[in-house]
């Protein structure tokens, strides 16, 4: 008689849940993914309407080699499922009095630095070399689990210690290379991926701008949401099951171990292990009985340091804007005050900085012919701000559109909008299950990283694993894929077939 396969339930079909489901299905586990929404992807799902397709969240595909590794581990090539385009230029940065374009070709970037910041270009090679050393030492550490303090005694971590820059912020660390503030900001705006201020973000995260410059940025034809759809296809090819429109009410816990889930319809599904891909803080408040939690009891979750939120505009325009690059970041007039209002004052500052993706210049499939698909992200305070977004969202929307008109080539954008969707911090919380609307999950300060971040093998409940931005190694598509890889490996180790 054949031995029954071990069953694994995955709660949520976001990037982390789908990655773990891919790896475990290929590894011979009986995998079922329960997703509350009507499509896969979570914050990586598509938004569609009137012929337009927008990515809900992530739009930068960095460290493509991590995605390639996931597909390779299942015996596949990512290129057989997805159509990648290397972006050239990678992005444009717009300041009050200058514009800087970053290219995948380092020599072109150096020439651009010389044009905009004369004399500073000579430090660019030093940045690339020293940050390569940091990356080479730190990246292997990010691929390991930190479920035990003994992880800090691994030889690879000890060798990496000197590269952590524990006494410096990201902004001050960039000062070791560049002495002009706007140029430093050109290499530190990436801290938004972590939901942190560059003045508070740990200096070790200089590896983020480094990986952009070293490994470039890619677009996926049809949008980055196609990655989740491709992963779902692989899960099903490997015999796994994905059930949409099937919300999980709670994790079933018996004798301290996860034994399955109860669905919203009252049905119970049993399993040998449960992987949680919901927003971490939301899951601690909603998916577990409070009595099952100690370290991550809801009362303790309230004290966690959270990332910022985002105000989102998804605009379909009946005009093609070829003068705006694929990615553009526009800085506010007083960027430091703006950032302080997000992370310290929780004040809604009207001098906003924002990011625009004009993917129609690269991809003709995401908008009707001759039209533009415009994605706008404005970092703002999470719901701790107390802002009433029902009252503020249209006023703030008009403010953002006016600034776009003034600071970008989209000077007549308001006359060409034929499709529009808004997501506010309140929407992130209410519709997407994001705790306090903190889009980038838990903050990535030193006391919420590595061992001090929620563990991939969940501490409070046995036979339970966490994937996504709320666990190690953190937010962002590449690190979320790594979190799933780590959690899947732990599960295989704990429950070998």
| pLDDT tens per residue, range 191-223 | 877 878 999 999 999 999 999 999 999 999 999
- Listed in sequence order, the residues at least 6 apart from 266 whose beta carbon sits closer than 8 Å to its beta carbon are none
375 DSSP β-pair partners = 314, 357
Residue 2 in this model has a pLDDT that exceeds 60: no
Residue 362, pLDDT score = 97
Residue 212, pLDDT score = 96
Using CA atoms, how far apart are residues 483 and 471, in angstroms rounded to an integer?
A: 7
**7-84+222-303+445-494: in CATH 3.30.70.260:** no
155 burial level (CB within 10 Å; 0-12, 13-18, 19+): exposed
Average pLDDT over the chain, rounded to an integer: 96
Please state the domain extents for the chain.
7-84+222-303+445-494, 105-216, 308-435
The dotted CATH code for 105-216 is 1.10.405
| End-to-end CA gap in the chain | 15
Residue 3 in this model has a pLDDT that exceeds 60: no
Each residue's pLDDT tens digit, 313-354? 999 999 999 999 999 999 999 999 999 999 999 999 999 999
pLDDT, average across residues 63-86 = 98
- Listed in sequence order, the residues at least 6 apart from 164 whose beta carbon sits closer than 8 Å to its beta carbon are 138, 202, 203, 204
CA distances from 149 to 101, 139, 146, 479 (A): 43, 19, 7, 21
195: helix, strand or coil: coil
465: helix, strand or coil: strand
Each residue's pLDDT tens digit, 94-149? 999 999 999 999 999 999 999 999 999 999 999 999 999 999 999 999 999 999 99
Q: Give the residue among 294, 284, 262, 312 at the shortest CA–CA distance from 470.
A: 284
Q: Give the residue among 238, 260, 241, 242 at the shortest CA–CA distance from 250.
A: 260
Residue 1, pLDDT score = 41
Confidence of residue 167 (pLDDT cuts 50, 70, 90): confident
CATH fold match for the domains 7-84+222-303+445-494 and 105-216: no
Residue 410 corresponds to which tokens in the numbers above? Answer: 């989209």
Handedness of CA 356, 362, 368, 371 (dihedral sign): positive
Confidence of residue 189 (pLDDT cuts 50, 70, 90): confident
């Amino acid at each position: 008689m054949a031995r029954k396969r071990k069953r694994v339930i995955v709660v949520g079909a976001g990037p982390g849940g789908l990655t773990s489901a891919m790896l475990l299905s290929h590894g011979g586990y009986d995998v079922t993914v329960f997703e509350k929404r009507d499509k896969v992807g979570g914050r990586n799902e598509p938004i569609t309407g009137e012929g337009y397709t927008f990515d809900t969240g992530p739009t930068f595909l960095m460290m493509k080699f991590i995605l390639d590794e996931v597909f390779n581990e299942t015996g596949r090539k990512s290129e057989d499922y997805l159509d990648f385009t290397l972006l050239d230029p990678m992005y444009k940065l717009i300041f009050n009095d200058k514009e800087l374009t970053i290219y995948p070709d380092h020599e072109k970037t150096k020439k651009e630095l010389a044009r905009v910041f004369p004399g500073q270009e000579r430090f660019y090679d030093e940045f690339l070399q020293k940050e390569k050393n940091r990356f080479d030492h730190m990246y292997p550490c990010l691929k390991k689990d930190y479920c035990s303090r003994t992880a800090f005694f691994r030889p690879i971590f000890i060798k990496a210690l000197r590269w952590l820059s524990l006494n410096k912020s990201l902004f001050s660390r960039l000062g070791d290379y560049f002495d002009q503030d706007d140029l430093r900001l050109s290499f530190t705006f990436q801290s938004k991926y972590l939901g942190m201020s560059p003045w508070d973000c740990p200096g070790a995260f200089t590896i983020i701008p480094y990986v952009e410059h070293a490994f470039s940025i890619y677009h996926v034809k049809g949008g980055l949401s196609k990655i989740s759809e491709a992963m779902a296809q692989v899960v099903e090819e490997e015999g796994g099951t994905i059930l949409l429109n099937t919300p999980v009410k709670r994790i079933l816990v018996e004798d301290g171990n996860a034994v399955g889930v109860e669905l919203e319809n009252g049905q119970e599904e049993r399993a040998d292990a449960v992987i949680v891909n919901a927003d971490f803080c939301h899951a601690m408040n909603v998916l577990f009985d409070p009595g099952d939690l100690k370290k991550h009891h809801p009362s303790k979750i309230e004290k966690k340091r959270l990332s910022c939120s985002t105000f989102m505009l998804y605009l379909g325009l009946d005009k093609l804007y070829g003068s705006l690059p694929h990615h553009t970041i526009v800085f506010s007039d007083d960027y430091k005050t703006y950032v302080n209002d997000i992370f310290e004052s929780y004040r809604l500052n009207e001098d906003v900085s924002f990011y625009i993706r004009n993917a129609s210049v690269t991809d003709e499939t995401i908008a009707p012919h001759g039209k533009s698909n415009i994605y706008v992200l404005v970092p703002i305070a999470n719901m701790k701000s107390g802002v009433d977004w029902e009252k503020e969202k249209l006023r703030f929307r008009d403010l953002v559109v006016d600034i776009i008109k003034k600071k970008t080539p989209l000077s007549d954008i308001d006359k060409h909008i034929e499709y529009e969707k808004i997501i506010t911090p309140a929407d992130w919380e209410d519709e997407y299950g994001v705790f306090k609307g903190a889009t980038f999950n838990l903050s990535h300060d030193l006391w919420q990283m590595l061992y001090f971040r929620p563990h991939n093998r969940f501490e409070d409940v046995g036979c339970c694993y966490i994937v996504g931005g709320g666990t190690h190694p953190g937010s962002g598509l590449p690190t979320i894929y790594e979190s799933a890889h780590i959690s899947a490996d732990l599960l295989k180790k704990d429950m070998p077939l």
